[in-house]
Amino acid sequence: MSSSSDNPATAMEAMTLQELRADFRDGSTVAMPIAGMIVWAALGIAALQLDEETIATGALYVMVAIMPLAFLIDKVRGRNLFAGGSDNPLTKQFLLSILIVGLVVPIAIAGARAGEPLILVVGMAVLAGVVWIPYGWAADDPVGIRHAVGRAIGCYAAFAYVPAPYTATAICGVVVVSYIYSLAFLRR
């Protein structure tokens, strides 16, 4: 007969919230913010050369590109994104939050179809930042809420006040600065 320590799910059920959060932080790495920074920086640079419709379409693929790039970054570094945390309910909830944010993306698409393609860029920048809220809660790290709120305010301000043709680049710049802040202050 196996003991509860042989079953990772049962062992996770016996952990306190504090222990689950420590396990979540141990399994999480900086690969996701690094990947996000790379993808958003590339989109911002491309925005200097491409038309708004093309950049808006590119913004749709940002969330799709971050996770595989994060796994690749960790593989190169000899790490495993969420290693040891696959049975952690906090990891599962964080990954589920990415899906939940994805379900709201059609609202940004509808705004862009109404004749303002940069609505899609600002919408994706803000929506992709929302996943930092459950990350911060799961990691017991205030950087998550600070990232999400600061990123949203900065992206909305860039959208409202930075003139064309630099609006999309400015939005992407806010996202990159948000990632730099988070990388500097993440609880590890």
If you search the block for the tokens 């141990």, which residue do you land on? 26
Whether 21 and 90 have beta carbons less than 8 Å apart is answered as yes
Residue 142: per-residue pLDDT = 96
Residue 53: per-residue pLDDT = 93
Dihedral angle computed from the Cα positions of residues 92, 93, 96 and 97, in that order, rounded to the nearest 10 degrees = -150
Structure tokens at 83: 């290693």
Residue 111: per-residue pLDDT = 82
Burial of 22 (0-12, 13-18, 19+ CB in 10 A): middle
Separation of alpha carbons 174 and 12, rounded Å: 37
Which residues of the chain are modeled with pLDDT < 70?
A: 1-10, 82-86
Residue 1: per-residue pLDDT = 44
Residue 2: per-residue pLDDT = 44
> Which residues are within 8 A (CB) of 67 and not within 5 positions of it... i.e. 6 or more apart?
32, 35, 98
Residue 5: per-residue pLDDT = 54
Residue 8: per-residue pLDDT = 60
Residue 86: per-residue pLDDT = 67
Burial of 59 (0-12, 13-18, 19+ CB in 10 A): buried
Burial of 49 (0-12, 13-18, 19+ CB in 10 A): exposed
